[in-house]
Structure formats: structure tokens, C-alpha cells
Amino acid sequence: MIERPRVSERAAFVLDIRSDKIADYVEAHAEVWPEMLAALKAAGIRNYSIFLEGTRAFGYFEADDLEEVSSSLAASESSARWQRAMAEFLSEPLPPSGPQTMREIFRLE
């Protein structure tokens, strides 16, 4: 039996992508900057995935401390640059704190 590490916290969010920018959004995520990947890992993010259906992107990640993730990314110049680059793809601008995370209502371990 494969033993999975205990997940302290999970986060999920949705983003609405401009219909004329979907291909660009997908392309940007096919080649995420190495410094952005390093910033995500340094913030404690793991098991991060983004899914796309139509113009709606759904993101999910795991971390030990979501507040630490938020603080770390807020202090990261790489993250700030990435967010500015991604802003042109979004239907609505994100707040400075990033996308609103969703409430978890079900979990099967």
C-alpha cells in the first residue's frame, strides 16, 4: 500500500479567462518561468494543478500553511511579475492578495 503524506491544508480557486486569450494562457502555463516555479516551491506549495474547461480555469494545490504561502508569494518579485503577466488573460482583475480560495465541502481520504 502506498502511503501518502498528510496534507495540512488544501486550496482551490477558479479564474475566468478571456475567450480570446485561452490559447495564450495555456501556452504560458506550458512554460512557467523557472523562477516562478521556485517561488511556488519556496512558499510551500505542492501538488499544484490547473484545469481548464471553456473559459473557466480551476486551480488546486496543497500546503502546510496557507497563510505562509500567501506571505511568501506576496514578498516574491517573481510572483508579482508572473501575476502582472497573467493579468491580461483574465476577465476580471485579481485582488492584490490573489484569487479567492474556495470553501472545501467534501473530502474522501
pLDDT per residue as tens digits for the range 16-62? 999 999 999 999 999 999 999 999 999 999 999 999 999 999 999 99
* CATH code for the domain of 77: 3.30.70.100
Q: Residue 54 falls within a domain, yes or no?
A: yes
Residue 48: give the domain boundaries. Answer: 9-87
pLDDT of residue 109: 85
pLDDT reading at 7 higher than 60? no
Give percent of the chain above pLDDT 70.
Answer: 94
Instruction: Look up 39 and say whether it is catalytic.
Output: no
Instruction: Look at residue 2 and tell me if it is in a domain.
Output: no
Asked if the structure places residue 77 within a domain, the reply is: yes
Is 95 a domain residue?
A: no
Please tell me which residue, 75 or 109, carries the higher pLDDT value.
75
Domain membership flag for residue 105: no
**Which of 16, 27, 29, 91 is the catalytic position?**
29
80-86: long-range contacts, CB 8 A cutoff, minimum separation 24: 81/36, 82/32, 82/33, 82/36, 82/39, 85/28, 86/25, 86/28
- For residue 82, the model assigns a pLDDT of 96
